[in-house]
């Protein structure tokens, strides 16, 4: 897990993209990858986690903290978010929280 985290923090974009094609990331590595702020890597991570495999709750919170509404919607188009992420989303943008609930009405 530590190795995954260090790798996604420091490796080139190309290397991380290739790694994501074949491996799932530990929770800490998901958060570290999102924290890099690299839109290409974040979108690849989201696409890798299909509706049956959501991101860990810590990664969802980090996604809300640093990503644009477009990227958040990319994830929430196929997956619900944890309570902590929704709380952050409401603090960040009430209209985005309302949009979320229009798609996930529970």
Split into its structural domains, the chain has a count of: 1
| Per-residue confidence (pLDDT) for residue 1, from 0 to 100 | 61
Domain that holds residue 25: 2-103
How far lies 28's CA from each of 38, 41, 70, 73, 83, in Å? 16, 15, 23, 22, 19
pTM: 0.92
Cβ neighbours, 10 Å, residue 94: 10
| Per-residue confidence (pLDDT) for residue 60, from 0 to 100 | 98
Residues of the chain under the 50 pLDDT cut: none
Retrieve residue 34's tokens: 């999102």
């Amino acid at each position: 897990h530590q190795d995954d985290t260090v790798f996604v923090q420091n490796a080139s974009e190309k290397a991380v993209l290739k790694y994501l094609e074949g491996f799932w990331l530990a929770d800490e590595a998901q958060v570290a990858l999102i924290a890099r702020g690299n839109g290409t890597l974040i979108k690849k991570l989201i696409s890798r986690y299909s509706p049956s495999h959501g991101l860990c709750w810590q990664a969802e919170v980090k996604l809300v903290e640093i990503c644009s509404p477009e990227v958040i919607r990319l994830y929430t188009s196929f997956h619900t978010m944890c309570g902590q992420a929704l709380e952050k989303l409401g603090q960040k943008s009430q209209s985005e929280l309302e949009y979320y609930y229009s798609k996930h009405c529970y």
